Amino acid sequence: MPERLDEPNIALLIDADNASPDHLDEVLLVLGELGTINIRRAYGNWQKAALKGWGGLTNSHSIIPVQQFDVVKGKSATDMRMTIDAMDLLFRGHVDGFGIMSSDSDFLPLAQRLREDGLQVYGFGTAKTPISFQNSCTRFFDVAALDGAKQSDESAPAPAARPVDEELISTLGAAYKASKRDDEGFASLSEMGQRAKAVSSFAARNYGFTRLSEMVRALPNFEVKSGPDGTLLVRRLR
């Protein structure tokens, strides 16, 4: 068996029937920070005029278009084809994580099954994506928020990021409480983040931040400082 590279091997599966090509660049940027996207496939009935926007992107971004005809009028078989291919990739054992670009809750069982085998699942969809699918992912990214962050970097008007709500504060607070703390009440930000992600699929980018550290620093509920070894420490203030 060939030697595995340290860089995680990511498979991006796109539900072209359900996802907009307008957000592809942001999705590739985020996934590229999490690993190498060696597998890129977009699924749909390419005879449909609605998928025209994906056409040119498949070549320019090295995405393999997978044709799936509609077996029954008004009912797409794309979800089933994506699921079958994902399971094939899982059992081959060469993929470390999956990106699923869709707002369709039908992928909930798939995300759960992939995570049962210890794989990372990154969901990309709209804010209206059912919360059940969002929470089934290791991390779920709101594509509109990703696009907003990009436009903000380009000094152009951007859609508002999702506001930090009490639910997120509660999740972070519970993660802090469960983390090991020193005599001054400081815990490792990395440990707190891991504990928070174990019970929530939130991503800092959904709230307009690039990293968890940036988000926690911006919240008056927490204090962040650098430890002696350069790691970040966090303490809850209220």
CATH of the domain at 23: 3.40.50.1010
29 plus 143 within the same structural domain: yes
173 and 147 within one domain = no
Cα–Cα distance for residue pair 187/176, rounded to 1 Å = 7
Q: What's the domain count of the chain?
A: 2
Residue 89: band (very low, low, confident or very high) from pLDDT cuts 50, 70, 90: very high
- In one-letter notation, the amino acid at residue 153 is D
Residues 79 and 184 occupy one common structural domain = no
Q: Looking at the structure, do residues 192 and 147 belong to the same domain, yes or no?
A: no
Q: What is the pLDDT of residue 75?
A: 57
Q: Which residues of 21-58 are buried (b: 16+ CB within 10 A; e: fewer)?
A: bebbebbbebbeebbebebbbbbbbbeeeebeebeebb
Distance of CA 219 to the CA centre of its chain: 22
Domain end, chosen from 92, 126, 153, is at 153
Within 3-126, residue ranges assigned H as helices are 24-34, 52-60, 78-92, 108-116
Greatest CA separation for the chain: 65
- Hey, what are 127's tokens? 């804010």
Residue 102 CB neighbour total at 10 angstroms:
25
Would you give the DSSP letter of residue 181? B
What pLDDT does 148 receive? Answer: 59
pLDDT, position 156: 45
Query: Does 2 or 6 have the greater pLDDT score?
Result: 6
If you average pLDDT over each of 25-34, 95-104, 184-193, which comes out highest? 95-104
The pLDDT score that the predictor gives to residue 155 is 46
What is the average per-residue pLDDT within 97-106? 94
* Structural domain of 75: 9-153
pLDDT over 50 at 3, yes or no: no
Question: Tokens 């508002």, residue?
Answer: 160
Q: Give the model confidence (pLDDT) of 109-129 as tens digits.
A: 999 999 999 999 999 999 899
**What was the pLDDT predicted at 153?**
47
Q: Is the dihedral of CA 36, 226, 166, 155 positive or negative?
A: negative
More confident residue, 155 or 56: 56
Residues 61 and 84 in one domain: yes
Neighbours of 89 (CB within 10 A): 19
- In which residue are the tokens 């804010």 written? 127
CB proximity list for 172: less than 8 A, separation 6 or greater: 192, 196, 216, 219, 221, 222
Predicted confidence band of residue 152 (pLDDT cuts 50, 70, 90)? very low
Token code pair at residue 67: 């044709």
Which of 95, 126, 153 is a domain's end point?
153
Is 55 inside any structural domain?
yes
**Residue 161 has what pLDDT?**
61
Whole-structure pTM value: 0.72
Q: Are residues 130 and 230 in the same domain?
A: no
